[in-house]
């Protein structure tokens, strides 16, 4: 029997209360360093990077010996840059600003005006960094964030290296974060990798994918490998198929000029979706060291069977949104967006059926889709299990057994849900679907988050686990290259082929229905 009711109290605690009593291990503070942002006057800096850095400072994960140097083509003084950042934070901060902390933070911001392709700029930048290094005791550690157009990636890193700004010695490190898109096809991705690797080592290059900053994406590994009830059934014997959906309600907004040169396939599949596939399907790594995890991810990407030209015609779907109604408002067609040609053949929707050629996943299709102006804003992974045998229910009113589904919700709400069948109360045997839902906010609370905090912090401590390696980037492009080739040779004749606010073209539903399966949609 429990004494003094102490054990009873423990048993009746809610999960949230129990977790609140567990003291989290303090995280490691980032190394002393200077963050150099190329493209500091752009949207990414003010919307994501500066708020993320402030959140790290608030969480005491930013070194006290830290500084930021923003580089942009816009003429601006350091004081003007600080004022601009302060104004931007009023709009984009994800938490209440502490005046004392902000004063400390903003005094570490500096601005340097220059043309990224001007070789004469880099010796001046070197002198500036050396002075700031002395002023803030950053130990000679620099990392460069390339928040620029892709055409500048190679020249910037080459010019940094030519001025010894990528040179490491002793305990001093130098790193570079490269934003997507990393190439526009396999050949250009290989060329960019070769260009960077001529002047920097792989351990210095951090190819960023902000989707991997999402808590649920990181939790895929914890969920799979820390829970003994799931890993044994995470294979072809128990899983019927996998769906990965990245659906957006927004259109191309003000990015029509760029988007029309890329399209949904290039924009989302080789990077975001391939990362989600690799984390979902990879074998257990022997540790969480960066290259050990990435080795397993790379194996999955290489195991995805390339589609033949004939398979592209039956296993892929492309679409372009037309006019429609979304959230009660009339939306224009893609071809009427700013910067988009009136006869554009660029796809805003992609659906594909892929197969992974290894022992664990043989015969299990992976369906993926991504698109704009769809019926809901949601990123999720659906693991659908095989149906149970029907024999027990053959003499009951039950006509079919519903499959169990495990859903990993990545955005906008992060969480995990499990759908299973339960008997409906009453004298007759009827089954109903029940969803068990776990939301991160309910159990762990919420933290100020832009999606970049973890990634910036990992770069500061030298952890490349959530960053793509050269072979992973190229493997992702290998999957989409046959599709790009066929689509280029056979332009679409029926664009636009889905209305804004719908779930995409009918052919996307047909892709699954031919196999007796259906997309799992999540309304707003």
Pick the last residue of a domain from 179, 202, 226: 179
**For residue 3, what pLDDT is reported?**
42
Catalogue the E-assigned strands of 188-337. 205-207, 239-247, 316-319, 321-322, 324-326, 329-331
**For residue 431, what pLDDT is reported?**
74
CATH code for position 471: 3.30.360.10
Buried b / exposed e along 486-512 (16+ C-beta atoms within 10 A) = bbeeeeeeebbbbbbbbbbbebbbebb
Domain-embedded: residue 266: yes
Domain-embedded: residue 379: yes
**For residue 412, what pLDDT is reported?**
85
| Full domain range(s) for residue 141 | 33-179
Taking alpha carbons only, the member of 495, 502, 481 closest to residue 184 is 481
Domain-embedded: residue 391: yes
One domain for residues 115 and 238:
no
One domain for residues 375 and 477:
yes
One domain for residues 272 and 408:
yes
Tell me phi and psi for residue 374, to 5 degrees.
-95, 180
Pick the last residue of a domain from 132, 160, 179: 179
Between these two residues, 97 and 426, which has the higher pLDDT value?
Answer: 97
Domain-embedded: residue 186: no
- What is the band of 121 on the pLDDT scale with cuts at 50, 70, 90? very high
Q: Tell me the pLDDT tens digit for each residue of 261-300.
A: 999 999 999 999 999 999 999 999 998 888 999 999 999 9
One domain for residues 375 and 263:
yes
Mean pLDDT within 128-145: 95
Between these two residues, 446 and 336, which has the higher pLDDT value?
Answer: 336
In the set 241, 272, 380, 457, the catalytic residue is 272
Domain-embedded: residue 404: yes
One domain for residues 285 and 425:
yes
CA distance 272 to 48: 18
CA distance 381 to 246: 9
Domain-embedded: residue 381: yes
One domain for residues 166 and 221:
no
**For residue 216, what pLDDT is reported?**
61
Is residue 36 within 8 Å of 49, Cβ to Cβ? no
One domain for residues 294 and 424:
yes
Is residue 59 within 8 Å of 24, Cβ to Cβ? no
Q: Is pLDDT of 340 > 70?
A: yes
Q: Is 272 a catalytic residue?
A: yes
One domain for residues 246 and 174:
no
Number of domains composing the chain: 2
CATH code for position 113: 3.40.50.720
142: Cβ–Cβ under 8 A, 6 or more apart, which residues? Answer: 33, 34, 35, 36, 129, 165, 174, 175
Buried b / exposed e along 78-116 (16+ C-beta atoms within 10 A) = eeebbebbeebbeebbbeeeeeeebeebbebbbbbbbeb
Q: Is pLDDT of 213 > 80?
A: no
One domain for residues 394 and 251:
yes
**For residue 288, what pLDDT is reported?**
82
Q: Tell me the pLDDT tens digit for each residue of 222-245.
A: 888 888 899 899 999 999 999 999
- What is the band of 410 on the pLDDT scale with cuts at 50, 70, 90? confident
One domain for residues 305 and 263:
yes
One domain for residues 173 and 229:
no
Pick the last residue of a domain from 179, 198, 226: 179
pTM exceeds cut of 0.75: yes
């Amino acid at each position: 029997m429990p004494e003094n009711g102490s054990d009873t109290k423990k048993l009746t605690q809610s999960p949230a209360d129990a977790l609140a009593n567990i003291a989290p291990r303090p995280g490691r503070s980032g190394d002393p360093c200077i963050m150099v942002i190329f493209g500091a006057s752009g949207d990414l800096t003010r919307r994501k990077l500066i708020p993320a850095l402030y959140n790290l400072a608030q969480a005491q994960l930013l070194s006290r010996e830290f500084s930021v140097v923003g580089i942009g083509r816009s003429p601006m003084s350091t004081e003007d840059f600080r004022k601009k950042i302060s104004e931007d934070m009023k709009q984009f901060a994800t938490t209440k600003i502490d005046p004392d902390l902000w004063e400390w933070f903003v005094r570490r911001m500096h601005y340097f005006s220059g043309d990224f392709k001007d070789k004469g700029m880099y010796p001046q930048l070197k002198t500036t960094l050396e002075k700031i290094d002395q002023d803030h005791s950053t130990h000679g550690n620099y990392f460069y964030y390339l928040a620029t157009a892709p055409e500048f990636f190679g020249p910037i890193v080459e010019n940094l290296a030519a001025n010894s700004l990528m040179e490491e010695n002793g305990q001093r490190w130098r790193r570079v974060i490269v934003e997507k898109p990393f190439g526009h096809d396999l050949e250009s991705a290989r060329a960019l990798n070769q260009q960077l690797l001529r002047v920097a080592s792989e351990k210095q290059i951090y190819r960023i994918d902000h989707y991997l900053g999402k808590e649920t994406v990181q939790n895929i590994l914890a969920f799979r490998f820390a829970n003994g009830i799931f890993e044994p059934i995470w294979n072809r014997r128990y899983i019927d198929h996998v769906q990965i959906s990245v659906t957006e309600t927004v259109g191309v907004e003000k990015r029509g000029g760029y988007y029309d040169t890329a399209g949904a396939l290039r924009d989302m599949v080789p990077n975001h979706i391939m990362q989600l596939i690799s984390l979902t399907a990879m074998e257990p790594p022997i540790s969480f060291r960066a290259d050990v995890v990435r080795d397993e991810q790379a194996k999955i990407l290489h195991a995805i069977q390339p589609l033949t030209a004939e398979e592209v015609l039956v296993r892929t779907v492309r679409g372009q949104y037309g006019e429609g109604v979304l959230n009660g408002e009339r939306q224009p067609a893609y071809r009427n967006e700013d910067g988009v040609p009136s006869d554009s053949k660029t796809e805003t929707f992609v659906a594909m059926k892929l197969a992974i050629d290894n022992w664990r996943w043989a015969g299990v299709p992976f369906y993926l889709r991504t698109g704009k102006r769809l019926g809901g804003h949601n990123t999720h992974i659906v693991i659908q299990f095989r149906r149970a045998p029907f024999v027990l229910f053959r003499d009951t009113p039950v006509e079919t057994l519903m499959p169990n589904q495990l859903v990993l919700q990545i955005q906008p709400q992060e969480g995990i849900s499990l759908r299973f069948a339960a008997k409906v109360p009453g004298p007759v045997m009827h089954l109903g679907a029940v969803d068990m839902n776990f939301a991160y906010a309910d159990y762990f609370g919420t933290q100020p988050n832009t999606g970049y905090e973890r990634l910036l912090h990992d770069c500061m401590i030298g952890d490349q686990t959530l960053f793509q390696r050269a072979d992973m980037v190229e493997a992702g492009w290998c999957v989409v290259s046959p599709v790009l080739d066929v689509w280029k040779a056979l332009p679409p004749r029926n664009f636009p082929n889905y209305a804004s606010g719908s779930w995409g073209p009918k052919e996307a539903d047909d892709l699954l229905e031919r196999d007796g399966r259906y997309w799992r949609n999540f309304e707003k």
